[in-house]
């Protein structure tokens, strides 16, 4: 298992450990409540509705095979096979490079990579072929998310990138994915996984709907405006709970329970309140906190070493939190591919680079 210490003087040694550690090498042959907008998930826009595709190319990934002790795949069951690990990630042109790297990292460190099924959420066309060019044997499906579903509910945020409709697609996973998919791991596009994703998949959620690493030392009050905290109609949402901050970029989600309660509609109601009363400033995160904070199944912090992209303004370099690492997450405004291309990388961006398959076509 990978252990990384917060000590810049040991960074060279750290890279050696990363490169040489077996844990970082590929394993040997390694009536649901539905939104009224559901039809929009299934409709891809015509070419006249989309901008012309940008010219990207990605190198082909090595082929990763299941280890001998992996469960035999049930080919006939397709996406409904009980042996699959389901992972949902968004795809868009701006973050496509990050998404491809995330997939690459998951496959490389999975003991049963052929048993991982990817659900890609898109609001643009022509992305499927790019994924297939890098991962010809990947099990995946693409789901179109219509931006108009949420556009009228999105309010301004501290950073424009947080206002993009695709950031809200995770609110609709229970409606978009097949009913037979009862659980999914949702991952942001700006991360890499350096451990076996099956370990995260086996998280015991108990009676909770989502699981995520929690950070109870964080100042929870800052995620909402003074108007929120001064109005019992709003702040009363946390009555009887002990809410802690959690990052929505890494979540294990019980979709069956989500569907039975109708959490999508609950989140939408908070977004509508935000439009009229301005109760928070930070994009798609606060509605999740309002609904789930204090009711989250805890997951080890190793599964979301977040904040590596710095804050939402400067994107400055950050160190890792103390302890072991299974997932590195460049949340914040600084993304490793942009910093590497500008030749002004942060030290930890070097850990992302080996998973980058990007090549710009001339």
What pLDDT is attached to residue 54?
55
Q: On the CB side of 91, how many CA atoms lie within 13 Å of its CA?
A: 24
**Which of 13-17, 236-240, 301-305 shows the lowest mean pLDDT across its residues?**
13-17
Query: Strand 116-122 and strand 139-144: pairing?
Result: parallel
In a domain, 8, yes or no: no
| pLDDT at position 52 over 50 | no
In a domain, 265, yes or no: yes
In a domain, 230, yes or no: yes
Q: Give the closest residue to 224 by CA, choosing from 172, 273, 261.
A: 273
| pLDDT at position 4 over 50 | no
In a domain, 5, yes or no: no
**Which of 154-158, 168-172, 173-177, 324-328 shows the lowest mean pLDDT across its residues?**
154-158
> How much is the average pLDDT of 68-93?
89
How confident is the model over 315-346, as pLDDT tens digits? 689 998 889 999 999 998 899 999 999 999 99
- For CA atoms 127, 132, 135, 141, the dihedral sign is positive
204: exposed, middle or buried (Cβ count in 10 Å: 0-12, 13-18, 19+): exposed
User: Which own/partner contact pairs does 142-145 have at CB distance under 8 Å and 24+ positions apart?
Assistant: 142/91, 143/41, 143/119, 143/176, 143/177, 144/40, 144/41, 144/42, 144/43, 144/44, 144/45, 145/40, 145/41, 145/121, 145/169, 145/172, 145/176
Band the pLDDT of 290: cuts 50, 70, 90.
Answer: very high
Question: Which residues span the domain enclosing 205?
Answer: 77-355
Beta-carbon contacts of 140 under 8 Å, excluding residues fewer than 6 positions away, are 117, 118, 119, 120, 131
pTM of the model: 0.85
Query: Strand 358-359 and strand 214-215: pairing?
Result: unpaired
* CB-CB contact of 141 with 89 (8 Å): no
Query: Strand 250-254 and strand 210-212: pairing?
Result: antiparallel
| pLDDT at position 84 over 80 | yes
More confident residue, 12 or 273: 273
> How much is the average pLDDT of 253-272?
97
Give the total number of structural domains in the chain: 1
In a domain, 30, yes or no: no
We report the CATH number of the domain holding residue 100 as 3.90.550.10
Band the pLDDT of 283: cuts 50, 70, 90.
Answer: confident
CA 42 to chain centre: 21
In a domain, 35, yes or no: no
What pLDDT is attached to residue 362?
36
Residue 359 has φ and ψ, to the nearest 5°, of -150, 125
Beta-carbon contacts of 362 under 8 Å, excluding residues fewer than 6 positions away, are none
> How much is the average pLDDT of 198-206?
98
Band the pLDDT of 181: cuts 50, 70, 90.
Answer: very high
Beta-carbon contacts of 84 under 8 Å, excluding residues fewer than 6 positions away, are 73, 115, 116, 117, 139
Please state, in angstroms and rounded to a whole number, the distance separating the CA atoms of residues 102 and 89: 9
More confident residue, 279 or 31: 279
Instruction: Please provide the average confidence, as pLDDT, over all residues in the chain.
Output: 85
Band the pLDDT of 162: cuts 50, 70, 90.
Answer: low
Q: What percent of the chain has pLDDT over 70?
A: 80
- How many residues does this entry show for the chain? 362
What pLDDT is attached to residue 28?
29
Q: What percent of the chain has pLDDT over 90?
A: 72
In a domain, 207, yes or no: yes
In a domain, 1, yes or no: no
What pLDDT is attached to residue 126?
85
CB atoms within 10 A of CB 153: 18
Band the pLDDT of 26: cuts 50, 70, 90.
Answer: very low
Band the pLDDT of 55: cuts 50, 70, 90.
Answer: low
Q: Give the closest residue to 224 by CA, choosing from 269, 297, 285.
A: 285
Q: On the CB side of 140, how many CA atoms lie within 13 Å of its CA?
A: 28
Rank 143-157, 159-173, 203-217 by mean pLDDT and report only the highest.
203-217
């Amino acid at each position: 298992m990978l252990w990384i210490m917060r000590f810049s003087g040991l960074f060279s040694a750290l890279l050696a450990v990363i490169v040489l550690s077996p844990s970082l090498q590929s394993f040997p042959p390694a009536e649901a409540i539905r939104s009224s907008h559901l039809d929009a998930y299934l409709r891809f826009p015509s070419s006249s509705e989309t901008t012309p595709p940008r010219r990207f190319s990605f190198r082909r990934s090595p082929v990763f095979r299941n280890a001998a002790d992996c469960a035999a795949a049930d080919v006939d069951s397709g996406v409904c096979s009980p042996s699959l690990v389901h992972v949902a990630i968004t795809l868009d042109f701006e973050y496509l490079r990050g998404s491809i790297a995330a997939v690459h990292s998951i496959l490389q460190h999975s003991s049963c990579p052929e048993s991982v099924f990817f659900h890609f959420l898109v609001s643009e066309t022509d992305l499927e072929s790019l994924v297939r060019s890098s991962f010809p044997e990947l099990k995946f499906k693409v789901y179109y998310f219509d931006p108009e579903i949420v556009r009228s509910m999105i309010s301004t945020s501290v950073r424009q990138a947080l206002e993009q409709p695709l950031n809200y697609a995770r609110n609709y996973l229970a409606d978009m994915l097949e009913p037979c998919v009862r659980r999914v791991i949702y991952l942001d596009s700006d991360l890499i996984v350096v451990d076996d994703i099956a370990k995260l998949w086996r998280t015991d959620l108990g009676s909770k709907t989502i699981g995520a690493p929690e950070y109870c030392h964080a100042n929870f009050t800052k995620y909402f405006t003074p108007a929120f905290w001064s109005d019992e109609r709003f702040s009363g949402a946390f009555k009887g709970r002990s809410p802690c901050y959690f990052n929505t970029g890494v979540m294990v989600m019980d979709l069956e329970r989500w569907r039975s309660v109708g959490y999508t509609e609950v989140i939408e109601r908070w977004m509508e309140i935000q439009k009229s009363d301005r109760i928070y400033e930070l994009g798609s995160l606060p509605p999740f906190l309002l609904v789930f904070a204090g009711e989250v199944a805890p997951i080890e912090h190793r599964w979301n070493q977040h904040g590596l992209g710095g804050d939402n303004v400067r994107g400055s370099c950050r160190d890792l939190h103390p302890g072991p690492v299974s997932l590195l997450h460049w949340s914040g405004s600084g993304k490793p591919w942009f910093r590497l291309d500008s030749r002004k990388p942060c030290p930890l961006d070097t850990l992302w680079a080996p998973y980058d398959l990007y090549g710009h076509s001339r």
